[in-house]
Structure 1
Amino acid sequence: MRFQVLTIGGHAPHPLTGQLDSAADRLAEMVETGVVAEELGFDAYAVGERHAGPFLSSSPTVLLGALAARTTRIRLLTGVTVAAILDPVRVAEDYATVDQLSRGRVELVVGKGAEMGHFDLFGLDESLQWEYQAEKYELLRRLWHEQKVTWEGRFRPPLTDATTLPRPYGDRPPRIWHGSATSLNSPELAAKHGDPLFSANAIQPQAAYIRLIDHYRERFAAYGHDPAGAYVGAGSGGLFIADTTQQAVARFKDFYEARVQQTYKPHLAGKPGYNTPFTTIEDAIADGPHLIGSPQQIIDKILGYHQAYGHDLQSITVDSSGLPLPEQIDQLRRFAEEIAPVVRHAAPTRLWQRAADKERVAEPG
Structure 2
Amino acid sequence: MQIGIFSVGDLTVDPTNGREPTEHERIKAMVTIAKKAEEVGLDVFATGEHHNPPFVAPANPTVLLAHIAAQTERLILSTSTTLITTNDPVRLAEDYAYLQHLADGRVDLMMGRGNTAPVYPWFGKDIAQGLSLAIENYHLLHKLWRETDVDWEGRFRTPLTAFTSTPRPLDDVPPFVWHGSIRSPEIAEQAAFYGDGFFANNIFWPKEHYIRLINLYRERFAHYGHGTPEQAIVGLGGQVFMRKNSQDAVDEFRPYFDNAPVYGHGPSLEDFTAQTPLTVGSPQEVIEKTLTFREFFGDYQRQLFLMDHAGLPLKTVLEQLDLLGEEVVPVLREEFAKRTPAGVPDAPTHAGLLAARDAEQKEATV
TM-score of the superposed pair, with normalisation by structure 2: 0.90
Over 3 Å counting, the alpha-carbon distance change for 1:147 and 1:277 in structure 2 is: farther
Q: Deviations over 1:32-81 (max 9, x none)?
A: 11111111111111011112341112221110110111111111100010
Contact 1:191 1:216 in 2 (8 A): yes
Contact 1:187 1:216 in 2 (8 A): yes
Equivalent residue for 1:351?
Answer: 347
Q: 1:342 aligns with which of 314, 331, 334?
A: 331
Q: Deviations over 1:11-48 (max 9, x none)?
A: 13234433111111111111111111111111111011
Q: CA deviation at 1:118?
A: 1.0
Equivalent residue for 2:185?
Answer: 184
- Match of 1:85, SS state, is coil
- Distance in structure 1 (CA, Å) of the matches to 2:60 and 2:351: 34
Equivalent residue for 1:70?
Answer: 71
- Distance in structure 1 (CA, Å) of the matches to 2:104 and 2:351: 18
Equivalent residue for 2:360?
Answer: none
Aligned pairs (5 A) from 1:53-202: 53-57=53-57, 58-202=59-203
- Match of 1:70, SS state, is coil
- Match of 2:51, SS state, is coil
- Distance in structure 2 (CA, Å) of the matches to 1:307 and 1:358: 31
- Distance in structure 2 (CA, Å) of the matches to 1:182 and 1:286: 20
- Match of 2:241, SS state, is strand
Q: CA deviation at 1:240?
A: 0.6
- Distance in structure 1 (CA, Å) of the matches to 2:70 and 2:231: 31
- Match of 1:314, SS state, is strand
Which is worse superposed, 284-293 or 41-50? 284-293
Equivalent residue for 1:231?
Answer: 233
Root-mean-square deviation (Å): 1.9
- Match of 1:351, SS state, is coil
TM-score of the superposed pair, with normalisation by structure 1: 0.90
Which is worse superposed, 317-326 or 43-52? 317-326
Which is worse superposed, 131-140 or 289-298? 289-298
Equivalent residue for 2:363?
Answer: none
Contact 1:4 1:45 in 2 (8 A): yes
Which is worse superposed, 351-360 or 193-202? 351-360
- For structure 1, the 5+ residue unaligned runs are 264-274, 361-365
Q: CA deviation at 1:276?
A: 8.2
- Distance in structure 1 (CA, Å) of the matches to 2:265 and 2:200: 18
- Match of 1:145, SS state, is coil
Contact 2:258 2:264 in 1 (8 A): no
Q: CA deviation at 1:134?
A: 0.3
Q: Deviations over 1:292-336 (max 9, x none)?
A: 111111111111112111222110122115332122111111111
Equivalent residue for 2:17?
Answer: 17
Over 3 Å counting, the alpha-carbon distance change for 1:94 and 1:233 in structure 2 is: same
- Match of 2:286, SS state, is helix
What amino acid does structure 2 have at the position aligned with 1:325? L
Q: Deviations over 1:72-126 (max 9, x none)?
A: 1111100010001110001111111111110111101001012222112212111
Contact 2:106 2:349 in 1 (8 A): no
- Distance in structure 1 (CA, Å) of the matches to 2:235 and 2:82: 15
- Match of 1:330, SS state, is helix
What amino acid does structure 2 have at the position aligned with 1:34? A
Q: Deviations over 1:257-283 (max 9, x none)?
A: 121xx43xxxxxxxxxxx689721111
- Distance in structure 1 (CA, Å) of the matches to 2:349 and 2:181: 24
Over 3 Å counting, the alpha-carbon distance change for 1:350 and 1:91 in structure 2 is: same
Equivalent residue for 1:333?
Answer: 322
What amino acid does structure 2 have at the position aligned with 1:27? I
- Distance in structure 2 (CA, Å) of the matches to 1:197 and 1:215: 11
- Distance in structure 2 (CA, Å) of the matches to 1:103 and 1:290: 34
- Distance in structure 2 (CA, Å) of the matches to 1:81 and 1:354: 19
Equivalent residue for 2:33?
Answer: 33
- Distance in structure 2 (CA, Å) of the matches to 1:29 and 1:276: 23
- Distance in structure 2 (CA, Å) of the matches to 1:132 and 1:285: 35
Q: Deviations over 1:187-208 (max 9, x none)?
A: 0000011111001111111111
Number of residue-to-residue matches in the alignment: 346
Equivalent residue for 1:242?
Answer: 243
Equivalent residue for 1:290?
Answer: 278
Over 3 Å counting, the alpha-carbon distance change for 1:354 and 1:62 in structure 2 is: closer
Over 3 Å counting, the alpha-carbon distance change for 1:15 and 1:116 in structure 2 is: farther
